């Protein structure tokens, strides 16, 4: 049975300067199903981050519509819609409010008038998910960049939104932290039916998604599964496992002749 559509973008067009003809986004259309992980990739200036800000109502489109959970985004509906979607920026300092880590995670919950005892449990669960429970009383400004980002993500996870939108959110994290959070997001997708939209330059992150959207100069030029996109788009650097497969193939090793995920590569190497 097909999953319901949680996000629909239709004919979206945007210019930062209406006096100029060059569009930042031009007639972008796509939909995302509930519980799906979609990665949006493209070079700098392709319009990825602008798209993220339009989706959460931080910018207003010149043309087109954004529908979230069957409700069209507008000036009248954006506050209700923002309760359903959480945005994590590249720079975590942009999102800090509280004087301690736990205060910062609690901020959104307090705005929702959540009872204190329920709030304590939500904060504890969210901090455990990102591995920051022992830092709950720390001043966020004293944390490393990677730790700050994990706290910012915890603040979103505590709210359990329908959609988590990650705008280059893992750039400042070390590889171990990234792997841990990728596992957390996969768990939330599969067990909580949370939709994930990740805007990223990292091809290994994109390879984890169910589907990839490729942006170029403000246009959506390709979409498909990681296998479909990385097998056909020679302009995109493939994820590590596929790079390894291609190098082994070029050296004459007997490797599978089709795209391989990291898990498939590990299984093949361990035969």
* pLDDT tens profile 137-160: 998 888 887 788 888 888 888 888
Identify the weakest region by mean pLDDT among 18-22, 75-79, 202-206, 235-239: 18-22
| pLDDT band per the 50, 70, 90 thresholds, residue 89 | confident
Tell which wins on pLDDT, 178 or 100. 100
| Rounded percentage of the chain residues whose pLDDT exceeds 90 | 41
Q: How far apart are CA 66 and CA 51, in angstroms?
A: 10
pLDDT in tens, 230-256: 988 888 888 888 889 889 888 888 888
Question: Please, which contacts does 124-129 make with residues 24 or more away whose CB atoms are closer than 8 Å?
Answer: 125/158, 126/154, 126/155, 126/157, 126/158, 127/101, 127/102, 127/151, 127/154, 129/154, 129/157, 129/184
| Rounded percentage of the chain residues whose pLDDT exceeds 70 | 98
Q: What is the DSSP letter of 265?
A: H
Task: Find tokens 């959480």 and name the residue.
Answer: 86
| pLDDT band per the 50, 70, 90 thresholds, residue 31 | very high
Query: What's the predicted TM-score (pTM) here?
Result: 0.87
pLDDT at residue 1, rounded to an integer = 62
pLDDT at residue 54, rounded to an integer = 94
Q: How far apart are CA 198 and CA 37, in angstroms?
A: 8
Mean pLDDT score, 210-226: 94
Q: How far apart are CA 131 and CA 69, in angstroms?
A: 31
Q: How far apart are CA 156 and CA 139, in angstroms?
A: 18
pLDDT at residue 146, rounded to an integer = 78
pLDDT at residue 165, rounded to an integer = 94
pLDDT at residue 69, rounded to an integer = 93
SS3 at position 105:
helix
């Amino acid at each position: 049975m097909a999953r319901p559509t949680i996000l629909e973008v239709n004919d979206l067009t945007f210019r930062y300067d209406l006096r100029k003809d060059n569009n930042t986004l031009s007639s972008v259309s796509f939909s995302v199903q509930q519980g799906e992980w979609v990665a949006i990739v493209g070079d700098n200036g392709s319009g990825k981050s602008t798209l993220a800000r339009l989706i959460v109502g931080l910018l207003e489109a010149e043309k087109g519509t954004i529908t979230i959970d069957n409700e069209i985004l507008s000036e009248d509906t954006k506050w209700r819609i923002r309760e359903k979607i959480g945005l994590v920026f590249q720079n975590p300092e942009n999102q800090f409010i509280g004087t301690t880590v736990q205060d910062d995670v609690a901020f959104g919950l307090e705005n929702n008038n959540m009872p204190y005892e329920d709030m304590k449990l939500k904060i504890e669960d969210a901090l455990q998910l990102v591995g920051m429970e022992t830092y709950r009383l720390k001043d966020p400004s004293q944390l490393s960049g990677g730790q700050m980002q994990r706290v910012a993500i915890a603040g979103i996870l505590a709210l359990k939104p329908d959609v988590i939108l990650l705008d280059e959110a893992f750039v400042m994290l070390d590889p171990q932290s990234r792997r841990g959070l990728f596992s957390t997001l996969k768990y939330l997708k599969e067990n909580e039916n949370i939709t994930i939209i990740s805007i990223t330059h990292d091809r290994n992150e994109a390879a984890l998604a169910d589907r990839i959207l490729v942006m170029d100069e403000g246009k959506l030029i390709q979409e498909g599964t990681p296998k479909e996109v990385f097998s056909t788009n020679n302009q995109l650097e493939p994820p590590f496992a596929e790079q390894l497969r291609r190098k082994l193939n070029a050296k004459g090793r007997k490797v599978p002749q089709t795209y391989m995920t990291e898990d498939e590569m590990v299984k093949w190497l361990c035969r």
